[in-house]
Amino acid sequence: MRDLTLAMRHRSDVLTTVFFFIIVVSLFPLGVGPEAQLLKEMAAGVVWVAALLASMLSLTRLFADDYHDGTLEQLLLVPQPLSLIVLGKVLAHWIISGLPLVLMSPLLGLQFGLEGDALLMLMLTLLIGTPVLSLLGAIGAALTLGLRGGGVLVSLLVLPLYIPVLIFGAGAVTANAMGMGAEGHLSLMGAILLLALVLAPWASAAALRISVE
Amino acid sequence: MENGLLEVRALACVRGDRQLFSDLSFSLQAGALLHVHGPNGSGKTTLLRAIAGLVLQERGEILWNGTSSGKEKDAFNRELLYLGHHYGLKLELTGYENLKVFANLSGAEISEHEVEAALRRFGLAHCVELPVKVLSQGQKRRVALARLLLQSSKLWILDEPFVALDAAAVELLLEVIKTHVANGGMVILTTHQAVAVEVGSVQHLHLGQ
């Protein structure tokens, strides 16, 4: 879709998100020191918080560019449901900012001394969780469109909504590491994803209509 | 439905705390042009955006072929082409790609050849391959206007379409508008330029009096 072509022409933006993620995650082992056991326990939480912040970073751009050059107006006037278009944009956002994080996560997990099984679980939770981040973030981005200092406001609006994903995402990895099985966490995350998939585009579309006015 | 008819009934719009206009009624038939006049800040753009459905009106109704345009949004949007102050162009894409995106979104099947022909008609043959960001204001406007030739929308809403255009392009745009009206299309436009818009039946609407 169009957003992907655009992203390719703005390559530096994509890389910023990914590098931000890598650097934040890498800072922790350096700061905490080389205690293998401690690092292993922290790993999931650190990677997840970094993923939250990284996806936050690119959120404000989701609709802002379209808003400023008038494309958003045109998108509102297209004879197709706006929520579908929003879904398309969110998908593009996820491919640009979420998917690279998922792919990088095993590498970063290694820094924390995670092993094969835990790495896989970390990747899996991010795979389910990052689309939720993009979907929820879209609501915040749509609501704060055109406001001054919208970036800070988006964080305030959206970060609390991210909390459940964070708890279950990081929880799944920890539970798995302690041998308790992570099915419960994963199915809850799946449920959150489905719920967000249905409701978030619709809510964002409504918010966009208000913002453009 | 073939016979396009736009009807505005007792429309009132509020911007901030200010009442821009109220109790505004008019109707526009197929093959007619509505020229909206008024000083700056009299609500021309708001009126145009309200008709397009981008701004919610305070009171009143906008009917397209007898049904409310807000309720039958998809059907109305298929017949509508709105060009506002912003060009709605992606600066990183070429003119050709921009037009292609719009065509895809509106569900029209348009060949490469048609897009190039439209750009050539607006004198942009040499910048088909250039990203829009390196074009001048007038050229950007021309790219946006090329959409008029590509989409078979019935109702054109043009907010200040002559801005930044040179004399030749103004002539060309007038010609395009005339053809559209002659073919049973409808045009609503605003302009501050002294452009003689003379086609079939021109209606005038004066705001801010």
Those of residues 161-200 in A touching chain B at CB distance below 8 A are none
Percent of chain B scoring above 70 in pLDDT: 93
Question: What's the pLDDT at A5?
Answer: 57
pLDDT of B16-33, one tens digit each?
A: 778 888 888 888 888 888
Question: What's the pLDDT at A28?
Answer: 80
Question: What's the pLDDT at B1?
Answer: 41
Residues of B in contact with A81 (CB under 8 A): 74
Q: Could you tell me if B93 and B139 lie in one domain?
A: yes
ipTM: 0.76
String of DSSP letters for A135-201: HHHHHHHHHTTT-TTHHHHHHHHHHHHHHHHHHHHHHHHHHHHTTS-SHHHHHHHHHHHHHHHHHHH
Question: What's the pLDDT at A2?
Answer: 54
Q: Could you tell me if B175 and B191 lie in one domain?
A: yes
CB contact under 8 A, B91 and A69: yes
Asked if A78 has any chain B CB less than 8 Å from its own CB, the reply is: yes
Residues of A in contact with B53 (CB under 8 A): 76-77
Tokens of B128: 């088909």
CB contact under 8 A, B82 and A2: no
Rounded Cα–Cα distance for residues B80 and B103 (Å): 13
Q: Could you tell me if B8 and B71 lie in one domain?
A: yes
Nearest CB to B77 within list A2, A71, A77: A77
CB contact under 8 A, A77 and B86: no
Q: Could you tell me if B106 and B174 lie in one domain?
A: no
Asked if A149 has any chain B CB less than 8 Å from its own CB, the reply is: no
Question: What's the pLDDT at A3?
Answer: 53
What are the two backbone dihedrals, phi and then psi, of residue A166, each rounded to the nearest 5 degrees? -60, -45
Residues of chain A with pLDDT under 70: 1-14
Nearest CB to A76 within list B54, B78, B106: B54
Q: Could you tell me if B71 and B107 lie in one domain?
A: no
Residues of chain B with pLDDT under 70: 1-4, 107-108, 194-200, 208-209
Number of domains in chain B: 2
> Chain B residues with CB-CB distance to A under 8 A?
52-56, 74-75, 77-78, 80, 82, 84-93, 97, 101-102, 105-107
Chain A nearest-CA distance from B15, in A, is 10
CB contact under 8 A, A74 and B88: yes
Alpha carbon A129 to its chain centroid, in Å, reads: 7
Question: What's the pLDDT at B209?
Answer: 61
B107: nearest CA partner in chain A = A79
Question: What's the pLDDT at B4?
Answer: 63
Q: Could you tell me if B16 and B53 lie in one domain?
A: yes
Q: Could you tell me if B105 and B119 lie in one domain?
A: yes
What are the two backbone dihedrals, phi and then psi, of residue B94, each rounded to the nearest 5 degrees? -80, 165
Domain residues for the domain of B120 are 88-152
Q: CATH number for the domain including B36?
A: 3.40.50.300
Give me the residue spans of the domains in chain A.
2-212
β-partners of residue B63 are: B7, B68
Q: Could you tell me if B101 and B134 lie in one domain?
A: yes
